């Protein structure tokens, strides 16, 4: 829900910084990942500023478990590298330090950056976002180059204080998502921020500031021109954070849906299905991109290709391809992922047509069928006319599995014709 605004969004010279001493906030060191703490302490001991930054400070203050703990510092990437044997500098355009630990764990360390001045921008700058990521700055400048006030708080390992340059603490308290600076300009710099605004509002159950809503209204056309790789990643973030259904509804309300999914026809059932997929992820099941894709497309697929016995599976294949291909081309989604999404759609088509058709036993034994059936089960919660069909398949799949251990029987062995001669025998 948009909330009416009582002050204009933070702009760099309008606010004085607030430092909240340890006694006045709830973040305790035992909530912070031990590897991130090690990194913070070592930077600090070497005389550098060492802060926890971004989402982790926001989440800790909200009493939520952070996804990761990012570190901000005034040390340059090369200085960071010289302090840690296990440090790798990554990225050609924006250099980040990754400190790797055993168990595939890593802590990301970024040098403070700033928004470059207008005359510093290269003439033929095609991607402002990446350029901005590259200019080192002070900690205050680093706060101001971030997107939302609640994402720009720092936790200082030196005295355990929380530092707020942008009014984020107040916005956290009021549960409102506010842009740093003028949203019109910030969306021009990076249109992906429009999608992030919806994402954070949904994830945190925060209101969206009116200025953001109005800027989305005026700048929504820019979203379709944003980097497709970054948008693809942010779309998957929606699924990982179990807000895909909710954010797609918001995107429809704010006119962003067509910009994001120009090639996919959304039906009312699409939002319902996405919410069921989100629920499934919330139960701890991993979300694959193929499942997300199939979820976006399944209602339109069934609308164009009703599960009638007279329809051939090749017809279904053509419909599935027509729906998936343009979206996958736009977002450069690999063929393997598209084919897996197509198999999910075709599998649902096969299941919805009912039992007793050719190739059923092979289908039941196929290792991908349980995944298809799980997806189909979600669809049956929306299309209740399939409930009987669902029960029949459930029975068949149960008897295909071993009733004692719950494991699947090993597939029946096909007798192999003896090979005449191996093509390349060494
Ligand atoms: P989470 O990791 O829980 O999804 P987060 O806030 O850490 O949330 P990230 O995408 O990991 O989000 O980004 C880390 C930080 O980088 C953000 O908190 C924000 O300060 C900054 N940031 C990320 N994307 C942008 C952007 N497009 N424009 C400006 N700042 C950004
Ligand atoms: Mg993060």
Instruction: For residue 157, tell me if it sits in a domain.
Output: yes
Q: For a pocket test of ligand 1, which of 55, 57, 114, 191 has the largest count of ligand atoms closer than 8 A to its C-beta?
A: 55
| pLDDT over threshold 90, residue 334 | yes
Q: For a pocket test of ligand 1, which of 106, 144, 151, 241 has the largest count of ligand atoms closer than 8 A to its C-beta?
A: 151
Same domain, residue pair 124 and 241: no
- Active-site annotation holds for 70: yes
Give Cα separations from 291 to 22, 55, 126, 239, 327 (angstroms). 44, 27, 33, 10, 14
Beta strand 96-101 pairing with 2-3: unpaired
Instruction: For residue 404, tell me if it sits in a domain.
Output: no
Confidence (pLDDT) at 144: 95
Give the whole-angstrom CA distance, residue 309 versus residue 61: 56
CATH number of the domain at 255, please: 1.10.110.30
- Give the model's confidence band at 129: pLDDT under 50 very low, under 70 low, under 90 confident, else very high: low
From the CA of 146, how far away is ligand 1's center (Å)?
7
Instruction: For residue 329, tell me if it sits in a domain.
Output: yes
- Active-site annotation holds for 147: yes
- Give the model's confidence band at 319: pLDDT under 50 very low, under 70 low, under 90 confident, else very high: very high
Domain count, the chain: 3
HEC readout, 25-59? CCCCHHHCCHHHHHHHHHHHHCCCCEEEECHHHHH
From the CA of 49, how far away is ligand 1's center (Å)?
20
Confidence (pLDDT) at 202: 98
Where helices occur in 205-264 by DSSP H, the ranges are: 210-219, 228-240, 244-253, 257-260
Torsion angle of the four alpha carbons 30, 34, 38, 43, in this order, in degrees rounded to the nearest 10: -70
Give the whole-angstrom CA distance, residue 211 versus residue 219: 12
Pick the last residue of a domain from 262, 294, 326.
Answer: 262
- What is the mean pLDDT of the segment spanning 213-227? 95
Confidence (pLDDT) at 132: 57
Q: Of residues 10 and 381, which shows the higher confidence score?
A: 381
Same domain, residue pair 113 and 68: yes
Give the whole-angstrom CA distance, residue 246 versus residue 269: 13
- What is the mean pLDDT of the segment spanning 63-76? 96
Q: What is the pLDDT of residues 156-183, one digit of tens each?
A: 999 999 999 999 999 999 999 999 999 9
Q: Of residues 231 and 126, which shows the higher confidence score?
A: 231
| pLDDT over threshold 80, residue 339 | yes
DSSP classification of residue 241: T
CATH number of the domain at 142, please: 3.30.460.10
Please identify which residue in the block is written with the tokens 């409930």: 387
Instruction: For residue 410, tell me if it sits in a domain.
Output: no
Active-site pick, 147, 190, 209, 278? 147
| pLDDT over threshold 90, residue 360 | no
Active-site pick, 70, 171, 278, 343? 70
CATH number of the domain at 282, please: 1.10.3090.10
| pLDDT over threshold 80, residue 136 | yes
Same domain, residue pair 81 and 137: yes
Instruction: For residue 284, tell me if it sits in a domain.
Output: yes
| pLDDT over threshold 90, residue 312 | no
Same domain, residue pair 288 and 257: no
Of 93-97, 129-133, 367-371, 377-381, the range with the lowest mean pLDDT is: 129-133
Same domain, residue pair 103 and 237: no
Same domain, residue pair 253 and 274: no
Pick the last residue of a domain from 243, 262, 281.
Answer: 262
- What is the mean pLDDT of the segment spanning 326-345? 97
Q: What 3-state class would DSSP assign to 401?
A: strand
Same domain, residue pair 68 and 86: yes
Q: Which atom of ligand 1 is nearest to 67's Cα? A: 3
Same domain, residue pair 8 and 136: yes
From the CA of 299, how far away is ligand 2's center (Å)?
32
Pick the last residue of a domain from 262, 296, 329.
Answer: 262
Same domain, residue pair 255 and 327: no
User: Is residue 113 a contact partner of residue 145, using CB atoms and an 8 Å limit?
Assistant: yes
- Give the model's confidence band at 308: pLDDT under 50 very low, under 70 low, under 90 confident, else very high: confident
| pLDDT over threshold 50, residue 237 | yes
Instruction: For residue 424, tell me if it sits in a domain.
Output: no
Confidence (pLDDT) at 423: 32
Sequence-separated (6 or more) residues with CB below 8 Å from residue 229: 331, 332
Instruction: For residue 419, tell me if it sits in a domain.
Output: no
| pLDDT over threshold 90, residue 1 | no
Confidence (pLDDT) at 418: 46
Nearest CA to ligand 1 atom 26: 147
From the CA of 143, how far away is ligand 2's center (Å)?
15
Sequence-separated (6 or more) residues with CB below 8 Å from residue 118: none
Beta strand 105-111 pairing with 18-20: unpaired
- Sheet containing strand 161-164, edge to edge, reads 18-20, 161-164, 154-156, 50-53, 70-73, 105-111, 96-101, 87-90
* Domain span at 367: 268-399
Tokens of 263: 């090639």
With a Cβ cut-off of 6 Å, ligand 1 is lined by 54-55, 67-68, 146-147, 151-152, 190, 192-193
Q: What is the pLDDT of residues 253-305, one digit of tens each?
A: 999 999 999 989 999 999 999 999 999 999 999 999 999 999 999 999 999 99
Q: Of 310, 384, 378, give the one whose Cα is nearest residue 347.
A: 378
With pLDDT > 70 as the criterion, what percentage of the chain qualifies?
Answer: 87
Tokens of 113: 């950056």
- What is the mean pLDDT of the segment spanning 382-400? 90
Chain Cα centroid distance, residue 242:
9
Please identify which residue in the block is written with the tokens 């059936």: 373
Confidence (pLDDT) at 397: 85
Q: Of 419, 405, 144, 14, give the one whose Cα is nearest residue 153.
A: 144
Instruction: For residue 153, tell me if it sits in a domain.
Output: yes
Same domain, residue pair 298 and 382: yes
Q: Of residues 310 and 37, which shows the higher confidence score?
A: 37
Confidence (pLDDT) at 14: 64
Give the whole-angstrom CA distance, residue 154 versus residue 141: 12
DSSP characters for 146-184? SSBGGG--EEETTTTEEEESSSHHHHHHHTEE-BSS-HH
Same domain, residue pair 215 and 113: no
Active-site pick, 33, 68, 315, 321? 68
Sign of the torsion angle spanned by Cα atoms 8, 11, 13, 16: positive
Same domain, residue pair 118 and 162: yes
């Amino acid at each position: 829900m948009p909330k009416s605004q009582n002050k204009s969004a933070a702009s760099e010279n309008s606010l004085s910084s607030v430092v909240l001493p340890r006694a006045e906030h709830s973040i305790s060191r035992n909530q912070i990942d031990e590897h991130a703490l090690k990194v913070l302490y070592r930077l600090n001991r070497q005389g550098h500023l060492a802060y926890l930054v971004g989402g982790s400070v926001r989440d800790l203050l909200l009493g939520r478990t952070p996804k990761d703990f990012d570190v901000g510092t005034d040390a340059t990437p090369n200085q960071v590298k010289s302090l840690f044997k296990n440090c790798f500098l990554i990225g050609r355009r924006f250099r980040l330090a990754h400190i790797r630990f055993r168990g595939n764990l890593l802590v990301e360390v970024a040098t403070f950056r700033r928004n470059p001045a207008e005359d510093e921008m290269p003439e033929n700058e095609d991607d402002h976002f990446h350029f901005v990521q590259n200019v080192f700055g002070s900690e205050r400048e680093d706060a101001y180059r971030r997107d939302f006030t609640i994402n720009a708080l720092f936790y200082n390992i030196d005295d355990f204080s929380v530092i707020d340059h942008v009014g984020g603490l107040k916005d956290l308290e009021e549960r409102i998502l506010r842009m740093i600076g003028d949203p019109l300009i910030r969306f021009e710099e990076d249109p992906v921020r429009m999608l992030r605004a919806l994402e954070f509002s949904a994830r945190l159950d925060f209101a969206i500031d009116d200025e953001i809503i109005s800027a989305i209204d005026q700048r929504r056309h820019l979203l379709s021109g944003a980097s497709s790789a970054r948008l693809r990643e942010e779309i998957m973030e929606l699924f990982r954070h179990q807000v895909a259904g909710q954010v797609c509804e918001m995107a429809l309300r704010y006119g962003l849906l067509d910009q994001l999914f120009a090639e996919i026809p959304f039906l009312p059932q699409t939002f319902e299905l996405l919410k069921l997929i989100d629920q499934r992820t919330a139960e701890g099941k991993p979300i694959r991109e193929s499942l997300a894709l199939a979820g976006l497309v399944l209602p339109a697929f069934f609308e164009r290709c009703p599960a009638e016995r007279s329809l051939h599976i090749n017809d279904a294949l053509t419909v599935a391809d027509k729906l998936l291909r343009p979206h996958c081309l736009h977002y450069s989604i690999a063929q393997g992922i598209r084919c897996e999404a197509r198999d999910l759609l075709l599998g649902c088509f096969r299941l919805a047509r009912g039992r007793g058709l050719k190739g059923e036993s092979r289908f039941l034994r196929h290792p991908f069928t349980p995944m298809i059936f799980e997806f189909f089960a979600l669809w049956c919660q929306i299309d209740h006319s399939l409930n009987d069909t669902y029960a029949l398949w459930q029975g068949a799949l149960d008897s295909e599995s071993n009733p004692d251990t719950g494991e699947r029987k090993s597939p029946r062995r096909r007798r192999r014709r003896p090979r005449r001669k191996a093509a390349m025998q060494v």
